[in-house]
Chain A
Amino acid sequence: MSEPIIQCRDVSHSYSGKLALKQVSFEIFAGEPIGLVGPNGAGKTTLLSVLCGFLKPSAGIVSIFGYKPGDSNLCGKISALPQDARFDPVFTIGEQLAFLACLQGFDVEQAWQEAGRVLDAVALKESLHSILDTLSHGMAKRVAIAQALIGSPELILLDEPTAGLDPVNTRNIRSIIMEQAKHSTFVISSHDLAELGRVCQKVLLLENGVMSPMQHNVAEADGNTGFFTLQMETCPADKLIKELNQLNGVIKVSNPQKNEFLVEYLPEQAPQIDIEILTCLAKHHWSYRQLIRGKSLEEKLFFSH
């Protein structure tokens, strides 16, 4: 097995005596994007700041590609979208991106080309000569994402990349991540579980500064049972649950939210349960919105226990 690109061992960090991270330990290997989720105040931003070298941990060992965060050997290998970081309003966006590219080792001409490329990737090429004050919040966010793409680093840490973006741009950012993920490993912190579920195959859960001991695999079945999440148009919930429970191989049907049903079943007994569910719905003329294999990420992370 290859070496992990991120290794954290017993990492703790406190603000004025209050522990924000409590002996966090985990490893991340190069590959598919990894999500970092947790409620507000769980320590996600603190953890990403420690990984980027913006914060020195109070205790523990952090290693990125074998170096301490902030080591000059990591220049060009790691990049990040820090939360709420903004560019200098005095210079144009292009000047600042080109300057960052120069610091990464590009010559001036290449740096301007790279600035144009990353701005093009976030659909903001026309803002090359604009200053920050003329951009909206969402555009400024996309510029900040653009700087994280300079030089196609091996590891990109994104803190809430889609917060404050409209649906079109959220989709653009998702496409950029999927495209760039062929060359870079992404660690994405977000509250948007639906978005994370689309992009990330694995998820780390952080709660009250404590890292969940297991990495959650979004598509993976829980043990021997499988799940389907069914989202319905308005329908008689009790009757639907009763009908679905009668299907062969179904263990349990629950109704976690209005018009949303979670079907737990035995895959060995009912390999084509999805077809049976749809047949059942058609038979009773009930309209459905979505049938998703597995649990929603929200369900998997926060309501499974």
Chain B
Amino acid sequence: MLANFIYQNLLICQFELKRLFATRKGWLYLATYLVVWYFILFYPIRYAANLLDEHRSTAHAGSFFEFLGFGSLLDWSIPAFGVYWHFALIFFPMMSVVIAADQTCSDRVRGTLRFLALRVSRDGLFFGRYISFMVIQFLLILLTLLATLLLVVFRDSSLLLEAFNNAASILINLFLVLLPFTAMMAGLSATVKSARQATVWAVLIWSFLAGIISALSSYLPILGKLKILIPGYQLSGLAQLSEWETLQLAYIPVLQAVILLIIGRWIMQRQAL
């Protein structure tokens, strides 16, 4: 039974990868993504990394970047990855909300999900699509990290090993960061009728949840701890950490993802297909 569940998840994952890498629509998304990242890499990241490289040895550099709120950039052994990390912490969660918004909704509205539901359990569908979107995002992150790595090595090939180390720490961390965002979108996608609706609801829930918890915590401060349930809660903390230190906060997205997946699965089990 479990083997069949895993096998079906693999098939769904394979099919979704095909959607991105072997269809015209997928190529269009991919091309857009690559163009956006081309500009991010070759302008903000490259210039910021150069700037850091030039000033990191000067006496006032630390206090200057601290003043701007980017002091942690100097903790990265390779500045380009430090800048990438700060960009990625903003870019990928936003991207996740957009690209993971249509995990099941358009298929449900079109009726395609019914063909699948006759062959796969609802759990298989829900987790299969979730895993697929995580794999897709993993590959997209990997692609940009490889480009950054090439950029670094092209300038100084002696940094290859260090660059691999930096890239690996970012890859794992970003993957963890995206777990709850994708889980939130999986749950929303299981209940709304379009990807746009899912994105709108995600923004609303995100904003209102933060507002409500802040308001409640002003009356009862202990309720402020509930903020840990908001996807992205740890992002500002993560921005202050560098390289493998970033794993210190890994428990937060994992916990959020588990809770959101339980809620999403509950929705999927009750939803009419």
Contact = CB atoms under 8 A, between A and B. Distances in A.
Contacts of B1: 72
Contact of A75 (B19, B120, B270, B272): B120
A100 B119 contact: yes
Contact of B118 (A80, A91, A99): A80
Contacts, number: 74
A85 B15 contact: no
Given A54-B273, A75-B119, A99 B11 contact: yes
Interface stretch (B84-92, B106-114, B185-193): B106-114
A75 B15 CA distance: 19
Contacts of B5: 72
A75 B120 CA distance: 7
B4 A72 contact: yes
A53 interface: yes
B270 A99 contact: no
Nearest to A95: B18
Interface in A123-161: 144, 147
Given A103-B116, A103-B120, A86 B110 contact: yes
B8 interface: yes
A88 B110 contact: yes
A56 B116 contact: no
Contacts of A54: 114, 117, 272-273
B110 A56 contact: no
B104 to A, nearest CB: 12
Interface string A76-90: 101110101111101
- The bracket for how many chain A residues form the interface is 20 to 34
Interface residues of B, number: 28
A75 B117 CA distance: 9
A80 B111 CA distance: 12
Interface in B82-132: 107, 110-112, 114-122, 124
Given A55-B272, A90-B19, A90-B25, A80 B114 contact: yes
Contact of B19 (A49, A56, A91): A91
A52 B119 contact: no
Contacts of A147: 115
B25 A103 contact: no
Nearest to B110: A86
B57 interface: no
A230 to B, nearest CB: 43
Contact of B111 (A86, A99, A103): A86
Contacts of B4: 72
Chain B interface, >50% SS class: helix
A238 B110 CA distance: 54
A99 B17 CA distance: 13
A119 to B, nearest CB: 15
Contacts of B273: 49, 53-55
A70 B117 contact: yes
B119 A88 contact: no
B111 A85 contact: yes
Interface string A32-66: 00000000000000000100111110000000000
Given A52-B118, A75-B120, A79-B118, A102 B272 contact: no
Given A55-B272, A56-B270, A99-B11, A104 B119 contact: yes
Contacts of B158: none
A70 B118 CA distance: 7
B248 interface: no
Of the listed residues B18, B114, B120, B121, the one surrounded by the most CB atoms of chain A closer than 10 A to its CB is B114
B117 A100 contact: no
B23 interface: yes
B224 to A, nearest CB: 38
A255 B19 CA distance: 60
B114 A82 contact: yes
B15 A99 contact: yes
Contact of B110 (A52, A53, A85, A95): A85
Nearest to B25: A90
A53 B115 contact: no
Interface string B235-273: 000000000000000000000000000000000001011
Given A103-B8, A103-B11, A90 B23 contact: yes
Contacts of B25: 90
Given A54-B272, A56-B272, A91-B18, 19 more contacts: A52-B114, A52-B117, A52-B118, A70-B117, A70-B122, A71-B121, A75-B118, A75-B120, A79-B118, A80-B114, A82-B111, A85-B110, A85-B111, A86-B110, A86-B112, A90-B23, A90-B26, A103-B116, A104-B119
15 contacts: A52-B118, A53-B273, A70-B117, A72-B5, A78-B118, A80-B118, A85-B111, A85-B115, A86-B111, A87-B115, A95-B18, A100-B115, A103-B11, A103-B119, A147-B115
* The 4 nearest A-B residue pairs measured at CB: A85-B111, A103-B119, A54-B273, A82-B114
Interface of B: 1, 4-5, 8, 11, 15, 18-19, 23, 25-26, 107, 110-112, 114-122, 124, 270, 272-273
